[in-house]
Amino acid sequence: MEFVDINTSNFDQVSKIYWEGIQTGIATFETSVPTWETWNNSHFKFGRIALIENNLLLGWASLTPVTNRCVYAGVAEVSVYVAENSRGKGIGKKLLKKLIKISEENNIWTLQSGIMRKNEASIQMHLNCGFRLIGYREKIGKLNGEWLDNVILERRSKLIN
């Protein structure tokens, strides 16, 4: 297995995994996969990684700014998606640990994640990687006609003071 950067040449595989996540109904409030241009413009230029094995993309992770206000320049939102046939094998944890390392190398002091309450595996993975539970947003978004809660987790870097 090796880490690679997400780019135009592998975005089709990233999109496929994203779509698989959308189909679970517990990974995101999004209902469609963005174009490369939209995805590329909304993410940091660092911290956009995929894990591959035998030219097959197993999962991906990325960082997006939470706001353009300069006081929050070191705060990023985390996304982690694992291919349907690679779930339960520690791929997400490998991606998240690598993303944490990359974030600190790029002066990100806080990582945050909003995870649907029903996505217990993702919540546990984040907790196992040093995130802490902050709380939740009750009925923050509607998906397929149902109001859903988001559990809020964050990880403060111990390296960046």
User: Residue 70: what pLDDT?
Assistant: 85
> Which helix (H) or strand (E) segment is 29 a member of?
none
The pLDDT-based confidence of 95 (bands split at 50, 70, 90) is very high
Q: For residue 161, is pLDDT > 80?
A: no
User: Residue 144: what pLDDT?
Assistant: 87
Quick one: which of 119, 67, 125 has its CA closest to 100?
Answer: 125
Structural domain span for residue 107: 2-156
> Which helix (H) or strand (E) segment is 87 a member of?
none
User: Residue 86: what pLDDT?
Assistant: 94
Judge whether 68 lies within some domain. yes
The pLDDT-based confidence of 69 (bands split at 50, 70, 90) is confident
Judge whether 9 lies within some domain. yes
- Cβ atoms of 75 and 152 closer than 8 Å: no
Max Cα-Cα span within the chain = 43
User: Residue 10: what pLDDT?
Assistant: 96
Exposed, middle or buried by CB within 10 Å (0-12, 13-18, 19+), for 145? exposed
User: Residue 64: what pLDDT?
Assistant: 95
- For residue 127, count other CB atoms closer than 10 A to its CB: 13
Instruction: Report the domain count for the chain.
Output: 1
Mean pLDDT confidence for 85-89? 93
Judge whether 161 lies within some domain. no
The pLDDT-based confidence of 67 (bands split at 50, 70, 90) is confident
User: Residue 33: what pLDDT?
Assistant: 95
Which residues, at least 6 apart from 100, have a Cβ–Cβ distance to it below 8 Å? 111, 129, 130, 155
Mean pLDDT confidence for 56-62? 96
Residue 134, domain CATH: 3.40.630.30
